Chains A and B, each alone.
Chain A
Amino acid sequence: MTSLTAKDKNTIKAFWAKISPNAAAIGADALGRMLVVYPQTKTYFSHWKDLSPGSAPVKKHGATVMGGVADAVTKIDNMTSGLLNLSELHAFTLRVDPANFKILAHNILVVFAIRLPNDFTPEVHVAVDKFLAALARALSEKYR
């Protein structure tokens, strides 16, 4: 897949500025949504008491995940090295199958569409999709 152009990076930073005040809520919505729409993803959270949308563990973890995405935005010029620790975490400790990164990314995009229908234009969509794909690649870096 292609790497991010300068135009992509500007689009992403501008869009991120719009969503960052609600990043935690967006993360919670995306994560909760994913667990309902793609129930196989629940297998990673069997240690939680409550996996329903809006529950405490989902809210907390959604915020954590979006915090990681926010971090990736600041490191957009070199995500592979910037996200090394997160990659090791996902590779060796969490061992999340990388196919799930795509699934979560899709749910994040759906939440963007719901919350900012006028800002989430096709041009923004493609840049953000590329960014999340690049993020997933950086997270997969240490897997094998």
Chain B
Amino acid sequence: MVKWTDFERATIQDIFSKIDYDVVGPAALSRCLIVYPWTQRYFGGFGNLYNAAAITSNPKVAAHGKVVISGLEKAVKNMDDIKTIYKDLSVLHSEKLQVDPDNFNLLADCLTIVVAGQIGAAFTPEVHAAFQKFLAVVVASLRKQYY
């Protein structure tokens, strides 16, 4: 089981209480699709992803960004058992969506950069480390059911 320090628990709760989900979710997903364009392979039905402007203004991308960050909230609320909470999501990503799990790290990096931009100087190395650890646990849990 993952061991969280008091600082790490408090930091994760604090970050997610501060950020605007409607901004961060869409921003992280669109940044991922722009910076790592091969990730667009999973979004064939989303319409115009032709350039950065199109991606940023695409309503399906925005809507899905919110879905993703709401999914993260499950982990925030159940930090002591993310592996179990994410079992079905892991099966979904593996069997139905067939997402290469290396992509989880790409989205995680973009999310980190967006959150850093939102939080600014308060995103200290220690806060960053806690966030990184949280995302690493999330990614590992999402990978768990892949075969």
Mark A residues whose CB is within 8 Å of B.
32-33, 35-38, 53, 106, 109-110, 113-114, 117, 120-123, 125-126, 129
Contacts and interface: CB of A to CB of B under 8 A. Distances in A.
Given A33-B125, A106-B109, A126 B118 contact: no
Interface string B112-126: 111011111101111
Given A33-B128, A110-B128, 9 more contacts: A38-B132, A110-B116, A113-B114, A114-B117, A120-B113, A121-B52, A123-B34, A123-B52, A126-B52
Interface residues of B, number: 24
Q: Interface residues of A: mostly helix, strand, loop or mixed?
A: helix
Interface in B43-99: 52, 55-56
A121 B55 CA distance: 13
A37 B35 contact: no
Given A32-B125, A33-B128, A37-B132, A125 B35 contact: yes
Contacts of A35: 125
**Top 5 nearest A-B pairs by Cβ distance?**
A117-B117, A36-B125, A122-B34, A113-B117, A113-B116
Contact of B116 (A114, A122, A129): A114
B128 A125 contact: no
A120 B117 contact: yes
Given A32-B125, A110-B113, A122 B120 contact: no
B118 A117 contact: yes
Contact of A36 (B31, B109, B117, B126): B126
Contacts of B120: 114, 117
B128 A109 contact: no
Contacts of B2: none
Contacts of B141: none
Contacts of A117: 117-118, 120
A122 B30 contact: yes
